[in-house]
Structure 1
Amino acid sequence: MSRLPVADRGAVHRALRDLLGRHRRAVLGVLALHSAAAVAGLAPPWLLGRIVDRVTGGAGVATVDRLALAIGGAVLVQAVLSRYAQYAGHRFGERAVAELREDFVHRTLELPVSVVERAGSGELATRSSVDVSTVGTTVRDVVPTMVIASVQLALLFGAVFLLHPLLGLAALAGLPSIGAATRWYLRRASPAYLAEGAAAAALTETLTSTAEGARTVEAFRLADERIARGTTRIARLWAARRATLGLRTVFFSVVEASYPLPVAAALLVGGYLLARGDVSLGAVVAAALYLQQAIEPLDRLLLWTEQAQRGFASFARVLGVGLVPPEAPSTARTPRDERLVVRGARFSYGAGHDVLHGIDLEVRPGERLAVVGPSGAGKSTLARLLAGIDAPRQGVVSIGGCPVTDLDPAERRRRIALVTQEHHVFIGSVRDNLAFAAPDATDEQMRSALRTVGADWYAGLPDGLDTPLGDGARQLGAAEAQQLALARLVLADPHTLILDEATAALDPTTARRTERALAAVLTGRTVIAIAHRLNTAHDADRVAVLSDGRITEIGSHHDLVRADGAYAALWRSWHP
């Protein structure tokens, strides 16, 4: 089951109409060119029928040559018009796809951090790659092809009706079986393709999380469990794809069997009308050729109907990202100071049990507070509430008298920064990575930020700030990536820093070096440290002990050691 919403059919149709409406002139131009090409394509069968009638009437070679030249001219005109129609269609398609991609990126960047984390990397990765690509194919190729094929079919069947109404009725012989198969298919295709997309996202999530956590998998000997989980997800995707394949097998088999029916019916009816003298032999030949010519656009129409179902299902998943309410700017008043206050905060993930139970806490501006406690006590959850990533189920978390989650997102991030042990290095130059925090920062400010956090490795870069980082370029180690993230913090210049075990993943030597660099960033700021190593708590102004989602002790390091409670026990276990 997807953890991000999926748009309904009405929303997909409205979005498609809006997209086509924004490019109305281009769409009309493409349709006009293809319609003209289709009209030109009507001439050869009619002219061939004329040749048959003239030959049976005793016409000479010169007459046949003139009609043959006319057929050649009509084919040339159709080819030229089709070429420019396809060119115009692809130009429209590429512009529309570019808009869709930009809109998707914009919607994704507006998602609240909590939604992104709970959705999982596989879900967003699938929607941003497979689904967006499928929608692009649908908009660029499928929709124009289906519209154009429909126009061609209307003209071809109209031409048969003009030859004789009974021939036109005979031409409809295959439509009942095709229509029944199409209705049967469409009722089942959309949910089947949505299920396939969800299964693909689940498999991507499993593969991504396993690859990213490969060291953890190896350390805890979880390889068999991850293989079993991956096998289960592969089996679900295989079953989902077998289901859609089964639908296609039935659909295309019935459609292919229906193609000869109109031609056979037209020849039978044409023979009867010819015997009565109601039509000429050339008219019967032209009708048969028109119906034979109709197989190609009908085939394209039905073939792309299957692709359209994929496209609409993917479009629904892409549009679903926009159904998540963004972090909209608030009308709340500006905080009067930087005091963080938590009153009666309770929090649970989804419909589960509370992991925080009535937390009361006040952090003064410029104070250093360490939060300690056993694993699972709720320390990281409290950090997320303080940073405004999540809102408490009950109670309030405020800064300067304003609820943190009511602040304008940009204002909140300017005041409060959450630093975890995960530091991402974006593909791009060093400058690109630093500019995320301060787009207007000068080169000297960026260099100063790197010097502040002790990023000595910067001096050895071949191209300085323009040195590319990431896959296929300069790779940064864990400590270097963390220093780059800290340099971003220096440039962002928040007043309050929340450190969620920011050095826990590093070896002790690297951690101490990084902590010294971090000390330069912390000067003059309010600091709330989720302490993994108790030396952090020793250096703090106050220590809050969290246990089972409750603050059980709070005070200075020395006061808590003298109190001989839970913190004193932790300290003795750390320093036996």
Structure 2
Amino acid sequence: MPASQEQSTLRTLSRLYTYARPAMPRIYGATAVSLVASLVSLAIPQVLQVLIDGPLAQGDSAQIWPVALVILALGVLEAILIALRRVLVLTPGTHIEASMRNSLYRHLQELPVEFHDRWPSGQLLSRAVSDLNMIRRWLSFGVVIIVVNVVTIIIGFIILLSLNGVLGLIFAVASIPVLVYSYVFEGRYSNAARRSQDQVGDLATSVEESVHGIRVLKAFGRGPFALSKFERQAERLRGTEIEKAKAIANIWLWLLLIPDVAFAVCLVVGVYLASVGQATVGDLVAFFATATVLLFPVQSMGYFLAMTFDAKTATSRFFDVLDSENTIVDPEVPTSILNPRGRLTFDDVHFRYQDAPQSHDDLLNGIDLVVEPGETMALVGLTGSGKSTLTALTTRLYDVNSGRVMLDGIDIRDLSKVEVRTNIAMAFEDATLFSASVRENLVLGRPDASEEEVAEAIAIAQAQFVYDLPEGLDTRVGEEGLSLSGGQRQRLALARAVTAKPRVLVLDDPLSALDVDTEALVEAALRRVLASTTALIVAHRPSTVALADRVALLQNGRVTAVGTHADLLAHNDHYRYVISSFDEEEVTA
């Protein structure tokens, strides 16, 4: 995973403006309303000064009630303004969060498979949930209160200095160590916050892997091992959270202690000034009432600073994903195939995975292969020879490093991804289904497929078991289809590929989980489909090879031989070796 380049807090958070722009009028309004509420709270002590030095000092009871009513009105106004602030910011924050989450999901769908190979799913999940939730809370609440608190503190200090210069100066001097420690706090807390949120992602990954692999863990009795690993990660996260808590506790110590000490010193000095006639009782009441109003803005700064640094970290993590380059994109002016025939060509194709050692040869090291329209080509080779990788290049799950993959003579990079994936459909050995109905899974590649076409695909894949499910085609399958057997999942995945009615059908050993009798029925039905469809089939069984018109032998990153099964069996030693290994696998099975 890429680590974000260190940036200032302001610069990092400013990147949120793109998403927050539609909500800014209401955020500005909430800030203004909240600021007026703070000014109202600062005005109350000044009215108290008038009350004490005026009607109360003069014993004029008739003037007390009007002033008291003014104080009551200011208090009610402050409460109304605070409620209005909450109304203004509550809805926009959720809209911003939804917009950012949609943007993240959209980008994840666009990013190449190579990105997902490198990023743990738990890290992506934590960014889509906890990080965006943190950003929403900061935009809806934190940023407004921080701005209002800063302005309130500045105005409040001006009022304190105007009420009594000596006492105001004491408060101003006392604020200096708070500012210094706040600067130190940013560095300590930001590092811990980043580690904490990364560790949350790692923990989510462990939970997800354990849940998905629960059958394996139980089968091998490795539950205690998984628990031990989880406990170690949780303990590291706990340690980081304690580190954050200590940093917050330290700044809270300063934010609570220094104002209280300044308050006590001012109280002593204020009493002395009043005793020598340099301050009135009303001055002191107004001063200390104003100072009390300022206590919350000052003391809450620790909490809001921590929230701000958490939001900075969350923003940085969010843009870690958004800044990831999508290398598989549509051309500026896509070419189009008007009457696709399905001729699939690999022209000097080279490919290596991004994290492969540079000292190693390319996994695919100059593939040259042509599959003619309507032809069925079987692709065979030893384990690790690159068969599945080659098939993944046909739909641009990965892009070639050099060379070309062509459809009807056109480089697929010159076509839109939609057109490529409309004309070429895949069925994988590891059949993945989604938490949706059987019908929704079957028409994933062609949502407008008719009921007759779906029924035909089900028959070809020998997936008639779907009609016996509790709600037939409307039955929802469990997460990743794990409520079904491996063979059932493979048959549904094959039916999904057939339903798409592509010009080219790419099958990555889609029958490996089927029993011999079912496989024979599927192969017989597939022959009818493949009679008019170009097909590239990764074969691990002799029976799958028998479906093919020709066979391509993959060896050392190259296609070393192409011919009929009989010709290769008669003249190619390596092909005979590969086929014999198939036989051994079947005997073992």
1:542 equivalenced with 2:584 (yes/no): no
Cα distance in 2 for residues equivalent to 1:139 and 1:523: 60
Per the alignment, residue 496 of structure 2 pairs with 488
Kept in 1: contact 2:350–2:366 (CA 8 A):
yes
Identity %: 27
> Distance between the aligned counterparts of 2:279 and 2:522, measured in 1?
92
Residues matched between the structures, number:
575
Contact 2:199 2:237 in 1 (8 A): yes
The 8 Å contact of residues 349 and 405 in structure 2, kept in 1 or not, is answered as: yes
Q: Deviations over 1:80-109 (max 9, x none)?
A: 121121111212222222222222222222
- Counterpart CA distance in 2 for 1:222 and 1:548 is 37
Letter in 1 for 2:39: V
* Alignment partner of 1:438 is 2:442: no
1:151–1:443 CA distance, 2 compared to 1 (3 A): farther
Counterpart amino acid of 1:388? Answer: R
Q: Which residue of 1 aligns with 2:118?
A: 118
- Assess if the C-alpha contact under 8 Å between 2:171 and 2:259 holds in 1: no
Q: 2:375 maps to what in 1?
A: 367
Q: Which residue of 2 aligns with 1:329?
A: 330
SS in structure 2 opposite 1:284? helix
Can you list the C-alpha shifts for 1:520-567, whole angstroms capped at 9, x where unaligned? 654522221222223111321222233343334332111121125122
Change (3 A) 1:296 1:161: same
Quick one: structure 1 residues 17 and 217, their matched pair in 2 at CA, closer, same or farther if it must change by over 3 Å?
same
What letter is aligned with 2:348? G
SS at match of 1:185: helix
Give, in angstroms, the shift of residue 348 of structure 1.
Answer: 2.2
Find the counterpart in structure 1 of residue 579 from structure 2.
571
Q: TM-score, normalised by structure 1?
A: 0.88
1:413 is aligned to 2:414:
no
Q: What are the equivalent positions in structure 2 for 1:132-211 lying under 5 Å apart?
A: 132-211=132-211
Paired with 1:57 and 1:457, the residues of 2 have a C-alpha distance of 94
Deviation string 1:408-461 (CA, Å, 9 cap, x unpaired) is 211221122232123333233445434532344455654554455443234345
Q: Which residue of 1 aligns with 2:412?
A: 404
CA distance in 2, matches of 1:294, 1:374: 75
Cα contact 1:468–1:474 (8 A) shared by 2: no
Q: 1:421 to 1:575 in 2, by over 3 A?
A: closer
**Aligned-partner Cα distance in 2 for 1:459–1:56:** 89
What are the Cα deviations for residues 455-511 of structure 1, in whole angstroms up to 9, with x where unaligned? 323434565555444369994443443344334323432222222222334555565
2:300 is paired with a residue of what secondary structure?
A: helix
Tell me how far apart the structure 1 counterparts of residues 210 and 366 of structure 2 sit (CA, whole Å): 36
Q: One-letter code of the match for 1:481?
A: R
Cα 1:150–1:5 shift into 2, 3 Å: closer
Q: Residues 372 and 531 of structure 1 are in contact (CA less than 8 Å); yes or no, is this contact kept in structure 2?
A: yes
Once residues 214 and 513 of structure 1 are traced to their aligned partners in structure 2, the CA distance between those partners, rounded to angstroms, is 33
Label 1:303 to 1:269 Cα distance change in 2 as closer, same or farther (>3 A).
same
The residue number in structure 2 matching 1:562 is 570
Relative to structure 1, is the Cα distance of residues 396 and 292 closer, same or farther in structure 2, using a 3 angstrom cutoff?
Answer: same
Other structure's SS at 1:254 match: helix
Q: How does 1:101-116 map to 2 (within 5 A)?
A: 101-116=101-116
> Following superposition of structure 1 onto structure 2, how do residues 436-515 of structure 1 map, counting pairs within 5 Å?
436-441=444-449, 446=454, 449-460=457-468, 466-470=474-478, 475-506=483-514, 508=516
In 2, Cα distance between equivalents of 1:145 and 1:400:
62
Deviation of 1:313 after TM superposition, in Å, equals 0.9
Match of 2:436 in 1: 428
Q: 2-side partners of 1:168 and 1:392: how far apart?
A: 71
Give the whole-Å Cα distance in 2 for the aligned partners of 1:519 and 1:152. 79
**Structure 1 runs not aligned, ≥5 long:** none
Contact kept? 2:335, 2:416, Cα under 8 Å = no
SS at match of 2:111: coil
* More displaced 10-residue stretch of structure 1: 95-104 or 228-237: 228-237
Counterpart residue identity of residue 125, structure 2: A
- Equivalent residue, structure 2, for 1:258: 258
Deviation at 1:306, TM superposition (A): 0.6
1:46-125 correspondence runs (5 A): 46-54=46-54, 57-125=57-125
Residues in 2 aligned to 1:8 and 1:500: alpha-carbon distance in whole angstroms: 45
Classify 1:457/1:237 alpha carbon distance in 2 versus 1 (closer, same or farther; 3 Å): same
Q: Which moved more, 1:288-297 or 1:191-200?
A: 191-200
- Pairing partner for 1:339 from 335, 339, 343: 343
Residue matched to 2:38: 38
- One-letter amino acid of the counterpart of residue 345, structure 2: V
**Separation of aligned partners in 1, 2:256 and 2:396:** 59
Listed one character per residue, the Cα deviations across residues 343-399 of structure 1 (whole Å, up to 9, x for unaligned) are: 333322224233233322222222212222222222222222233222233333333
Q: 1:526 to 1:241 in 2, by over 3 A?
A: farther
Q: Is the 8 A contact 1:52 1:281 kept in 2?
A: yes
Q: TM-score, normalised by structure 2?
A: 0.86
By how many angstroms is 1:133 displaced?
Answer: 2.2
Shift of 1:235: 4.9
1:295 counterpart = 2:303:
no
Mapped to 2, the partners of 1:530 and 1:275 lie a distance apart of 98
What SS does the corresponding residue of 1:424 show, helix, strand or coil? coil
Q: CA deviation at 1:302?
A: 2.2
Whether contact under 8 Å (1:429, 1:467) holds in the other structure is yes
Q: SS at 1:428's partner residue?
A: coil
Residues 341/5 of structure 1: CA separation in 2 closer, same or farther (3 Å cut): farther
Contact 1:6/1:320 (<8 A) preserved: no
CA contact (8 A) 1:3 1:118 kept: no
In structure 2, what is the Cα distance between the partners aligned to 1:536 and 1:42? 83
Quick check: 1:357 aligned with 2:365? Answer: yes
Q: Deviations over 1:180-205 (max 9, x none)?
A: 11111212333332222223323332
Change (3 A) 1:197 1:497: farther
Aligned-partner Cα distance in 2 for 1:93–1:263? 37
Question: Which whole-Å CA distance do the structure 1 matches of 2:148 and 2:492 have between them?
Answer: 54
Q: Which residue of 2 aligns with 1:394?
A: 402
Structure 1 equivalent of residue 315 of structure 2: 315
Distance in 2 between residues matched to 1:492 and 1:539, nearest whole Å: 20
Alpha-carbon distance change, 474 to 110 in structure 1, aligned in 2, over 3 angstroms? closer
Contact 2:487 2:513 in 1 (8 A): no
- Cα 1:422–1:77 change in 2 (3 A) is same
Residues 486 and 521 in structure 1, CA contact (< 8 A), matched pair in contact too: no
Matches within 5 A, 1:224-239: 230=230, 233-239=233-239
User: Is residue 341–residue 408 contact of structure 2 (8 Å, CA) maintained in 1?
Assistant: yes
